[in-house]
């Protein structure tokens, strides 16, 4: 694993031996997280498959600068971070965005061209409102706790389990993830709710893979299916997985699906 900085942005990279595919992968994390979510399994696994795999921590997240002004950061700021890292890579990557990161990828595609993109449990182009109402009616207690986390407050360990996992995860692992979690920008949440929604008509349309999780409480399958319909592509819903698909016990099923799809659409 290589850790470096592009300006003030942290980038984690796993690079295989020479002769790897020319098209790199760039992973974009979701809210409350950082590049570390990809380092747990996906970066080393994709490197072992021969891909140059990179993940950035958006400003105010992980090891990037800007934590002291997190609430002022916008989705546009996050798109600029992706653009800076893409420019540094020297070749347009496949973008793989999870949750908020998938929303950032959609906004990035309004101004940029990439070989392919993956939206993984992504905030839909219609924004967060439907997801917020779904969570309010299905799990109002979880909604309250997530709002507390958004404001920088502490939440119980079981809140993280309920929000991210459908499969078994140990308390020790949960505690480690909890220590890495952080507040999210309230401005970015508003952008995803109504003020900065993507314009599908304006977007460049690369080959697109839309994936979701059956037990996802935050971006339930009906919203993943809505995203796929908007872009005119099929969806794939993984049974028995929660929102944190890259951290679930059966994460490799998701990784293999992405790898196999990439073999079809990217030279």
pLDDT digits (tens, 9 = 90+) for 230-262: 999 999 999 999 999 999 999 999 999 999 999
pLDDT at 48 exceeding the cut of 80: yes
Q: Token pair for residue 78?
A: 């996050």
- Please report the pLDDT score of residue 145 as a whole number: 75
pLDDT at 209 exceeding the cut of 70: yes
What gap in Å lies between CA 46 and CA 251, rounded to an integer? 12
- Please report the pLDDT score of residue 129 as a whole number: 87
What's the mean pLDDT in 72-101? Answer: 97
CB of 43 within 8 A of CB of 13?
Answer: yes
CB of 266 within 8 A of CB of 253?
Answer: no
- Please report the pLDDT score of residue 195 as a whole number: 87
Q: Quickly tell me which residue has 């420019």 as its tokens.
A: 87
What gap in Å lies between CA 257 and CA 243, rounded to an integer? 16
What gap in Å lies between CA 54 and CA 6, rounded to an integer? 12
CATH number for the domain running over 2-265: 3.40.50.1820
The DSSP bridge pattern shows strands 53-57 and 9-14 to be antiparallel
What gap in Å lies between CA 214 and CA 14, rounded to an integer? 30
What gap in Å lies between CA 95 and CA 92, rounded to an integer? 9
- Please report the pLDDT score of residue 20 as a whole number: 65
Kindly calculate the radius of gyration of the chain based on its CA atoms and give it in whole angstroms. Answer: 17
Q: Which pTM does this prediction carry? A: 0.95
């Amino acid at each position: 694993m290589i850790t470096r900085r592009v300006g003030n942005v942290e980038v984690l990279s796993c690079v295989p031996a020479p002769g790897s595919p020319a098209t790199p992968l760039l992973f974009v994390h979701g809210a409350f997280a950082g590049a570390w979510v990809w380092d747990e399994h996906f970066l080393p696994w994709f490197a072992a498959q021969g891909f140059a795999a990179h993940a950035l921590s958006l400003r105010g997240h992980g090891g990037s600068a800007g934590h002291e002004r997190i609430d002022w950061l916008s989705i546009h700021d996050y798109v600029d971070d992706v653009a800076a890292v893409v420019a540094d890579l020297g070749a347009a990557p496949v973008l793989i965005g999870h949750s908020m990161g998938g929303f950032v990828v959609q906004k990035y595609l309004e101004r940029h061209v990439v070989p392919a993109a993956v939206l993984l449990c992504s905030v839909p182009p219609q924004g967060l409102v439907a997801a917020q109402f779904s969570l309010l009616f299905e799990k109002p207690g979880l909604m309250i706790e997530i709002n507390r986390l958004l404001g920088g407050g502490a939440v119980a360990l079981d809140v993280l389990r309920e929000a991210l996992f459908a499969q078994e995860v140990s308390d020790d692992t949960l505690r480690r993830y909890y220590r890495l979690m952080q507040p999210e920008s309230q401005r970015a949440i508003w952008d995803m709710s109504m003020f900065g929604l993507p314009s599908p008509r304006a977007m460049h349309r690369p080959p697109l893979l839309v994936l979701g999780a059956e037990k996802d409480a935050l971006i339930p399958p009906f919203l993943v299916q809505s995203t796929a319909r908007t872009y005119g592509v099929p969806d794939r819903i993984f049974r028995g997985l929660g929102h944190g698909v890259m951290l679930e016990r059966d994460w490799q099923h998701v990784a293999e699906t992405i790898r196999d799809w990439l073999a079809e659409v990217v030279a």
